[in-house]
């Protein structure tokens, strides 16, 4: 049984999400008061849906605290889609976002895509232009330095590196990495790439090249 945790201060949203996901045979736990999550065993959940705007503590701050305990996908549910908000959320350890109002089909597709990604088995290690990818442990290493990446950041790097030299649009990257196609998601890829570049630059590495008007490629 796949366990999903949903945190949102709006009871109507919680009820909507619970009904939608339970029809897909997921076991859904809903929490309206963020403080209550510390009474739960967060390790038992395979995915977390997290509202951004909540009283007392915002979802991005809460994501940072949750990420200290769990490694599962965290998807923000938000009405805020500004670039600064996306950078904060994805930089705090979030993997993706769903914009309010959202359709039931989109919700189910996003959740299923991230769960599929988590279930993939990888047993190889490869080196691309001096960067080592340990596919089983999902680590990226350059000159014996592990570059700490979120799940989404790692998957973007792995996809581009294993197809190095090819140029991919932001929409194509999103579809291949997350398994759900949608034009509105290109901004998430942009922010992930910004975070990747910032982390890599600390080690003198500039692996992702922008091909203007088209997308990105691994150098």
Residue range 125-218, CATH number: 1.10.10.10
Domain residue limits, the chain:
3-119, 125-218
The helix/strand count (H/E) of the chain reads as 7, 11
Mean pLDDT on 66-72: 86
Range with the poorest average pLDDT among 6-10, 80-84, 146-150: 80-84
Q: Which residue has the higher pLDDT, 124 or 96?
A: 96
Summary mean pLDDT of the chain: 88
pLDDT tens digits, 206-219: 999 999 989 999 98
- Report CA 196 to chain centroid distance, whole Å: 13
pLDDT of 81 above 80: no
Mean pLDDT: which of 122-126, 154-158, 171-175 is highest? Answer: 154-158
Give, as one character, the DSSP assignment of residue 168: B
Q: What is the three-class DSSP state of 92?
A: coil
Angle at 152 between CA 10 and CA 77, to 5 degrees: 10
Mean pLDDT on 165-181: 85
Could you give the C-alpha distances from 181 to 52, 58, 109, 177, in angstroms and in order? 23, 28, 9, 10
Handedness of CA 65, 66, 68, 73 (dihedral sign): negative
Range with the poorest average pLDDT among 24-28, 36-40, 76-80, 99-103: 76-80
Do 125-218 and 3-119 fall under one CATH topology?
Answer: no
pLDDT of 79 above 90: no
Range with the poorest average pLDDT among 1-15, 125-139, 142-156: 125-139
Task: Identify the pLDDT of residue 179.
Answer: 75
DSSP 64-78: HHHHTT--S-EEEEE
Element holding 98 (H helix, E strand): strand 96-99
Largest Cα–Cα distance of the chain, in whole Å? 50
Q: What is the three-class DSSP state of 27?
A: strand
Select from 70, 113, 116, 117 the least CA-distant residue to 94. Answer: 70
pLDDT tens digits, 99-116: 888 899 999 998 998 888
* CB 54, CB 8: distance < 8 Å: yes
Mean pLDDT on 118-142: 82
- Report CA 162 to chain centroid distance, whole Å: 20
Select from 125, 149, 158 the least CA-distant residue to 200. Answer: 149
pTM for the predicted model, two decimal places: 0.67
- CATH T-level assignment (fold) for domain 3-119: Rossmann fold (3.40.50)
Mean pLDDT: which of 17-26, 108-117, 121-130 is highest? Answer: 17-26
């Amino acid at each position: 049984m796949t366990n999903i945790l949903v945190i949102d201060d709006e009871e109507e949203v919680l009820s909507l999400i619970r009904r939608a996901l339970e029809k897909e045979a997921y076991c859904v736990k809903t929490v309206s008061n963020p403080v209550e999550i510390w009474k739960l065993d967060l390790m038992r959940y395979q995915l977390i849906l997290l509202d951004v705007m909540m009283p007392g503590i915002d979802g991005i701050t809460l994501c940072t605290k949750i990420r200290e305990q769990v490694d599962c996908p965290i998807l923000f549910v938000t009405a805020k889609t500004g670039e600064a908000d996306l950078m904060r959320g994805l930089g705090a350890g979030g993997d993706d976002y769903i914009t309010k109002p959202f359709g039931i089909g989109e919700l189910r597709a996003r959740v299923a895509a991230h769960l599929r990604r988590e279930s993939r088995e990888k047993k190889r290690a490869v080196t691309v232009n001096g960067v080592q990818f340990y596919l089983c442990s999902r680590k990226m290493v350059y000159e014996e330095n592990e570059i700490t990446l979120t799940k989404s950041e790692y998957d973007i790097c792995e996809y581009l590196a294993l197809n190095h030299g090819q140029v991919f649009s932001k929409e194509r990257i999103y579809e291949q990495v997350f398994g759900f196609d949608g034009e509105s998601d290109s901004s998430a890829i942009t922010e992930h790439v910004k975070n990747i570049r910032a982390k890599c630059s600390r080690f003198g590495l500039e692996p992702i090249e922008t091909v203007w008007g088209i997308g990105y490629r691994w150098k």
